[in-house]
Structure 1
Amino acid sequence: MQTNFTAEQLADPHVAESEAILRRCVHCGFCTATCPTYVTLGNELDSPRGRIYLIKDMLENGRAADAEVVKHLDRCLSCLACTTTCPSGVDYMHLIDNARVHVENTYRRPLVDRLIRNVLAFVLPYPSRFRAALKLARMGKPFGPLLGRFSPLKPLAAMLTLAPANLPQPLPQQSRPLAVPKRGRVAILAGCAQPVLDPRINEATERLLTRLGVEIARPKGEGCCGALVHHMGREEQALDFARRNVDVWIEEVEKRGLDAIIITASGCGTTIKDYGHMLRLDPAYAEKARRVSALAKDITEYLAMLDLPKQESRGLTVAYHSACSMQHGQKITLQPKALLRNAGFAVRDPTEGHLCCGSAGTYNILQPEISAQLKARKVKNIEATKADIIATGNIGCMTQIASGTKTPTVHTVELLDWAYGGPKPDKLS
């Protein structure tokens, strides 16, 4: 794609990066076939190619974002299916990230939209606030259908609808002695939304790793990875979260050493693996962030390195849903299914596995209508496998899919923990 940025514009490193990305696009349109919003809406401007044109026009002409541009950029799920499909290597992830920062800095959203986004940014990255908000949301749940009748309030209605009826209580944190000789030392990202919605995931991770001889470090002070606000264009808030986590993990690396930073939510994993890029312009953090990104491993990535023994068949079929952040963001496609098969489960791939389930961080709140269509499509394809269990590696996908099916939906690591001596997942009982 030909571009016409001025030397003054290219002095801004974000604009220069965007210009280099734009020039790689050859307008081939391969991305449209795998873009969930284009497949759903059929609008060229809701495809990666269409959004690339909008971003180019906006940045090249130095224009503030307007309502029409914002509408189509907001509809992007950041699922990154387009990057998997693109034959030209267009780095759409960083292009849409830069565009969202530009939107955040130049566009004043309608009042209700601003309020909802401010609430999400204030609540979701903080477990105690999120837990309190979910308790309040359960009280307001009956009003969801009424609020949903008014277009500006649909995100608020979605927030109430998505609130779970019950929150599982986390077990007391405990140090577990290694069952076999030590073979590694890792930290596990606690996260923000996941420990509130399903603390059993990290509990299963700790149990399994400890039985395999992996020591669990518990560095103090880590928090949200920053993904939620990062995808809302709130760059400084996202970088603050990243810096805090980098400081905590680098201190642990230098004091006692870490073989890996284990992540059990693939949406977080994609962001943490990008810390080196996010903080590349910060001289105090650039090198440290690269070290952290290099240590970041999805739990299935790490387990695949441990050569787990093959288990007898359990007589259960698992439909594996590969989260977008797993297959497109981190390019992890084979390890989770291989681990499940090795653990004794039969694994089936749903049709259209490349398409997003519609969760995408806060997307199912901010774009509830498109999200609902994608969820229905995803659930239909999963249920067509006739599987006994649905497994995935991202809490957002788990919550989204479980709200549309009666088939038990669990995290991949919960099944692996069970197969290698842990308790049966609660959702299967």
Structure 2
Amino acid sequence: MGSSIQADSTGGYDMQTHFTAEDLQQPHLREADRVLRSCVHCGFCNATCPTYRLLGDERDGPRGRIYLMKALLEDRDERADITAETRLHLDRCLSCRNCETTCPSGVEYHKLLDIGRAELERRLPRPASERAFRFALRHAVVEPARFKALLAVGLTFRPLLTGRLATKLPPAPVNAGTRPDGHRHARQMLILEGCVQPGLSPNTNAAAARVLDRLGIGLTPAPEAGCCGAVDFHLDAQEAGRDRARANIDAWWPHIEAGVEAIVQTASGCGAFVKEYGELLADDPAYAERAARISALARDLVEVLRDEDLEPLHAKAERRLAFHCPCTLQHAQKLGGAVEGVLTRLGFSLSVVQNPHLCCGSAGTYSITQPELAARLRDDRLDALEAGEPEVIATANIGCQTHLGGADRTEVRHWIELVDEALS
């Protein structure tokens, strides 16, 4: 029982666990044991954790949360005091994965977090009112048609709205314009339309299609594909998230068999999740192989442009930009600096942004479930982004775009829209 304590090259020690041989027969505990034992409790992660920087509480940093989850998973008596305390601090976690970028030992914190949150839901169901709120939130945003209808109502009654709902409405959605016929090109890629982006920023995917059209790439959607599954998965409905992944695989598979090069995501949050389909469905014999193939084909839009000859894109880039790199792009997908590189190649002037690794507080639905913390993080991020006096802030994720734009300060747009406008 347990694991030995061994010195690590950082000067720390591998964490000791106390799972029995019987415990380790359970896949989720075996995975938790592996992640826990990789932690040397050095504390480097706390230095870049947004909530620890705000609150200064060890339990609101990655190291403290790891200890809380360790106690939870090793607790065979299922004590309510452990679960209640742990939930408070896990709910405050943004899942930004900044700690993973910082960690010298490669701790896969997000995997432990998924296991810990699922265990919490099993042991201590939320109050009925909170469950109802999360259920409504999930079902309001994951169906594009339903979300568009709700958004239209919200825009109509915008003057009467206050608080968190008012800040979630886009300042002024940009008209999508026309999309080129992607089928006329030999090179074909699929695009995930997304669930909230078509309503909040309908021009984003249209702009992506126009830019790739200039490079001889056809970008077309699979109408049967829907939400990537991240919203369900991170709102206490992990199996529903997996079901959405399965549905998308079914929708995309005929196109993959027909030879599409890639599945493109313009929202980095969706891209990060689709790239994990292989891991999410690794134990599903009916989907494991296809899920791994989907993850291998998933590409954030910047990965496509980064690898192309951009000579056909004669951009007239006149606006000074500040780029906010979403956590899902830089920490989950490891693509920090990629968008800045493409924008620089196209002639854009980018201002220097202090602490570019920090989260804006959007984090999927976090800005709705934790509005006070999210607002503080947003304002801090805007202060850093606006220090260079940009004309517009660019980003790569609809959640960040809406959250930052909700402060009604500097204009916030998806970077591909700005590229498209410069080409026009």
Q: Secondary structure at the match of 2:383?
A: helix
CA contact (8 A) 2:173 2:202 kept: no
1:311 Cα deviation after fit: 4.7
1:366 aligns with 2:369: yes
Q: Which residue of 1 aligns with 2:337?
A: 334
Give, as a single letter, the amino acid of the residue that structure 2 aligns with 1:119. Answer: A
Q: TM-score scaled by structure 1? A: 0.90
CA contact (8 A) 1:318 1:346 kept: yes
CA deviation vs aligned residue, 1:11-44 (integer Å, no higher than 9, x gap): 2211111110000011100000000000011110
Q: Which residue of 1 aligns with 2:37?
A: 23
Counterpart CA distance in 1 for 2:339 and 2:392 is 15
Counterpart CA distance in 2 for 1:259 and 1:118 is 36
CA contact (8 A) 2:182 2:213 kept: yes
Counterpart CA distance in 2 for 1:93 and 1:329 is 9
Which has the higher mean CA deviation after the structures are superposed, 60-69 or 134-143?
A: 134-143
Counterpart CA distance in 1 for 2:152 and 2:202 is 16
CA contact (8 A) 2:182 2:220 kept: no
1:113 Cα deviation after fit: 1.8
CA contact (8 A) 1:104 1:234 kept: no
1:117 aligns with 2:131: no
Taking a change above 3 Å as real, the CA distance of residues 61 and 359 of structure 1, as seen in their structure-2 partners, is same
Q: Which residue of 2 aligns with 1:45?
A: 59
CA contact (8 A) 1:262 1:298 kept: yes
Q: Which residue of 1 aligns with 2:263?
A: 261
Counterpart CA distance in 2 for 1:163 and 1:56 is 39
1:220 Cα deviation after fit: 3.2
CA deviation vs aligned residue, 1:274-310 (integer Å, no higher than 9, x gap): 0000000101111100000000000011111112027
Counterpart CA distance in 1 for 2:340 and 2:178 is 31
Give the gaps of 5 or more residues in structure 2: 1-14
Counterpart CA distance in 2 for 1:212 and 1:313 is 17
1:340 Cα deviation after fit: 0.5
1:325 Cα deviation after fit: 0.3
1:126 aligns with 2:143: yes
Which has the higher mean CA deviation after the structures are superposed, 91-100 or 131-140?
A: 131-140
**1:159 counterpart (156, 159, 165):** 165
Q: TM-score scaled by structure 2? A: 0.91
Counterpart CA distance in 2 for 1:143 and 1:107 is 37
Counterpart CA distance in 2 for 1:218 and 1:250 is 13
Q: Which residue of 2 aligns with 1:298?
A: 300
CA contact (8 A) 2:394 2:414 kept: yes
Counterpart CA distance in 1 for 2:407 and 2:223 is 37
Taking a change above 3 Å as real, the CA distance of residues 200 and 95 of structure 1, as seen in their structure-2 partners, is same
CA deviation vs aligned residue, 1:83-111 (integer Å, no higher than 9, x gap): 00000000011111111212222222123
Q: Which residue of 2 aligns with 1:426?
A: none
Taking a change above 3 Å as real, the CA distance of residues 341 and 210 of structure 1, as seen in their structure-2 partners, is same
Counterpart CA distance in 1 for 2:215 and 2:89 is 47
1:390 aligns with 2:393: yes
1:271 Cα deviation after fit: 0.3
Q: Secondary structure at the match of 2:328?
A: helix
Taking a change above 3 Å as real, the CA distance of residues 333 and 161 of structure 1, as seen in their structure-2 partners, is closer
Taking a change above 3 Å as real, the CA distance of residues 144 and 111 of structure 1, as seen in their structure-2 partners, is farther
- The percentage of aligned residue pairs carrying the same residue is 44
Taking a change above 3 Å as real, the CA distance of residues 251 and 77 of structure 1, as seen in their structure-2 partners, is same
Q: Which residue of 1 aligns with 2:290?
A: 288
**1:271 counterpart (267, 270, 273):** 273
Counterpart CA distance in 1 for 2:115 and 2:364 is 18
* 1:138-153 mapped onto 2 (5 Å cutoff): 138=155, 145=162
1:357 aligns with 2:371: no
Q: Secondary structure at the match of 1:358?
A: coil
CA deviation vs aligned residue, 1:310-366 (integer Å, no higher than 9, x gap): 757634321011000000010002321111011111112311111100000000000
Counterpart CA distance in 2 for 1:35 and 1:44 is 11
Q: Secondary structure at the match of 1:66?
A: helix
Taking a change above 3 Å as real, the CA distance of residues 345 and 160 of structure 1, as seen in their structure-2 partners, is closer
Give, as a single letter, the amino acid of the residue that structure 1 aligns with 2:242. Answer: L
Which has the higher mean CA deviation after the structures are superposed, 267-276 or 301-310?
A: 301-310
1:81 aligns with 2:84: no
1:9 Cα deviation after fit: 1.7
Counterpart CA distance in 2 for 1:166 and 1:318 is 19
Counterpart CA distance in 2 for 1:360 and 1:130 is 18
Aligned length: 406
CA contact (8 A) 2:167 2:406 kept: no
Which has the higher mean CA deviation after the structures are superposed, 330-339 or 79-88?
A: 330-339
Give, as a single letter, the amino acid of the residue that structure 2 aligns with 1:352. Answer: N
Q: Secondary structure at the match of 1:28?
A: coil
Q: Secondary structure at the match of 2:249?
A: helix
CA contact (8 A) 2:60 2:92 kept: yes
CA contact (8 A) 1:134 1:164 kept: no
CA contact (8 A) 1:37 1:76 kept: yes
Counterpart CA distance in 2 for 1:176 and 1:289 is 25
CA contact (8 A) 1:144 1:161 kept: no
Q: Secondary structure at the match of 1:390?
A: strand
Counterpart CA distance in 2 for 1:141 and 1:57 is 46
1:417 Cα deviation after fit: 2.1
Taking a change above 3 Å as real, the CA distance of residues 30 and 284 of structure 1, as seen in their structure-2 partners, is same
Taking a change above 3 Å as real, the CA distance of residues 165 and 322 of structure 1, as seen in their structure-2 partners, is closer
1:184 Cα deviation after fit: 2.1
Taking a change above 3 Å as real, the CA distance of residues 311 and 137 of structure 1, as seen in their structure-2 partners, is closer
Q: Which residue of 1 aligns with 2:68?
A: 54
Give, as a single letter, the amino acid of the residue that structure 2 aligns with 1:105. Answer: R
Q: Secondary structure at the match of 2:40?
A: coil
Give, as a single letter, the amino acid of the residue that structure 2 aligns with 1:277. Answer: E
Q: Which residue of 2 aligns with 1:108?
A: 125
Counterpart CA distance in 2 for 1:166 and 1:93 is 35
CA contact (8 A) 2:169 2:402 kept: no
Q: Secondary structure at the match of 2:38?
A: coil
Taking a change above 3 Å as real, the CA distance of residues 111 and 135 of structure 1, as seen in their structure-2 partners, is farther
1:408 Cα deviation after fit: 2.0
CA deviation vs aligned residue, 1:201-237 (integer Å, no higher than 9, x gap): 0000111111210123432310000011111231110
CA contact (8 A) 1:140 1:160 kept: no
Counterpart CA distance in 2 for 1:325 and 1:382 is 18
